[in-house]
A and B are shown apart, each in its own frame.
Chain A
Amino acid sequence: MSQDTGGPDPSFEDRLKAARSKQGLDAPPKSSLSDQDGVGGSAWGIGARVGVELVSALVVAVAIGYGLDRLFHTTPILTAVFVPLGGAAGVANVWRLFAPKKSDKG
């Protein structure tokens, strides 16, 4: 209970901080800042996140390609063009998830 750390009168804030870090109470804010983007946290969360990002980009690309094909009557061509683009966009999404320090770009 009584933790006299030697110093004559460490201010209340200092002692509070020391006690909090000892109890691990300061950990949550730190971790939530560091993985601000890696929302999921656990391995399962990250895995699900990556899968969703990859697939959703592909879904959008296929939808665009197919829609444009229907519009211009060029049936397989634009879909075939947009599918690799969608895959690339998915990879770009995943890269953005794990990119080092997104914030110092802007």
Chain B
Amino acid sequence: MAAEGSNSIDALGQFQLHPALGAIGGSVNFTQSNLMMVVAGLLVMALLWVGMKPRAMVPGRLQAAAELGYETIMSMCVDTIGPEGRKFFPLVFTLFFFILFGNLLGVFPYFFTFTSHIMVTLALSLFVFILVTVVAIKEHGLHFFSYFVPQGIPKALAPLMVAIEVISYLSRIISLSVRLFANMMAGHVMLEVFGSFIVMLGGLGLLGYFPAALSLGVNTILIGFELLVATLQAYVFAILTCIYLHDAVHLH
């Protein structure tokens, strides 16, 4: 992975996919990315199952975490979408925790961040986009298309505004996916670069020890920063989903 003894930094090699689970995984193209997705899903379910098992009046740590997650997402749904938000709670909850665990798992050594691949985030945002559009059409029928005509514009400008609004609507797919992907990838590239600095400068001998220790410090800070970004981006993805759903349910 890192530049082992050589003078080049292979910052992007960490994002390469390899078959996981031996020969079986190789034959069905089951990569480490898929493996991490399964692990993330299992961990979310474990958090909820194991956490909620005691059903204690005064929750323990895991139960408190599970309840906190539930209540945060529930209030996010209801506050942002409105009373109809309850319907979409399972979706937003799943999205938030899947992305959150994917991001957080990536911080561990030897683990892979599946959200650092644009294919994954694009699939997620396409799913959200299509769902939002379907919800809007189901709620409002053909009236949905009035969403693209802003109120109070001159008739002559309407074609231009409709084109702009349609492009702006479609750009949600890109902005939603690129935001998550770029944040995760940039963080891991930085980690890799500073990690390579430690190895390369440490190899220089006495002169390199101080800068090597400095990059180790930077990497330590970056890990903390990465934890923040992981949580924040999962939150952003979830709340943007909520905002889009709000637009779909209420139009304008």
A59 vs B118: C-alpha distance in the bound complex, in angstroms? 15
Indicate if the CB atoms of A106 and B174 lie closer than 8 Å.
no
Q: How many residues of A contact B (CB 8 A)?
A: 28
Indicate if the CB atoms of B175 and A53 lie closer than 8 Å.
yes
- Looking at B9-17, B95-103, B131-139, B162-170, the stretch in contact with chain A turns out to be B162-170
Interface SS, B side? helix
- Looking at B195-203, B206-214, B236-244, the stretch in contact with chain A turns out to be B236-244
Indicate if the CB atoms of B170 and A39 lie closer than 8 Å.
no
Can you offer 28 A-B residue contacts whose CB atoms are under 8 A? A33-B79, A37-B243, A39-B235, A39-B236, A39-B240, A40-B232, A40-B236, A45-B232, A48-B183, A49-B179, A52-B178, A55-B178, A56-B172, A56-B173, A56-B175, A57-B171, A59-B171, A64-B167, A82-B167, A85-B160, A85-B167, A86-B167, A88-B164, A89-B167, A89-B171, A93-B175, A106-B250, A106-B252
A89 vs B232: C-alpha distance in the bound complex, in angstroms? 26
B182 within 8 A of A: yes
B113 within 8 A of A: no
In chain A, positions 65-106 with a C-beta closer than 8 Å to chain B are: 82, 85-86, 88-90, 92-93, 96, 105-106
Enumerate chain A interface residues (CB-CB to B < 8 A).
33, 36-37, 39-40, 45, 48-49, 52-53, 55-57, 59-61, 64, 82, 85-86, 88-90, 92-93, 96, 105-106
Q: Which residues of B contact A57 (CB under 8 A)?
A: 167-168, 171, 174-175
In chain B, positions 213-245 with a C-beta closer than 8 Å to chain A are: 232, 235-236, 239-240, 243
Q: Which residues of A contact B79 (CB under 8 A)?
A: 33, 36
B251 within 8 A of A: yes
Q: Which residues of A contact B160 (CB under 8 A)?
A: 85
B80 within 8 A of A: yes
Partner of B174, one of A33, A60, A82: A60
Q: A89 with B251: in contact, given A36-B80, A59-B174 (CB under 8 Å)?
A: no
In chain B, positions 135-193 with a C-beta closer than 8 Å to chain A are: 160, 163-165, 167-168, 170-175, 178-179, 182-183
7 tightest A-B contacts by CB? A56-B174, A89-B167, A56-B175, A89-B168, A57-B171, A56-B171, A106-B250
Of chain A, the residue at the smallest CB distance from B175 is A56
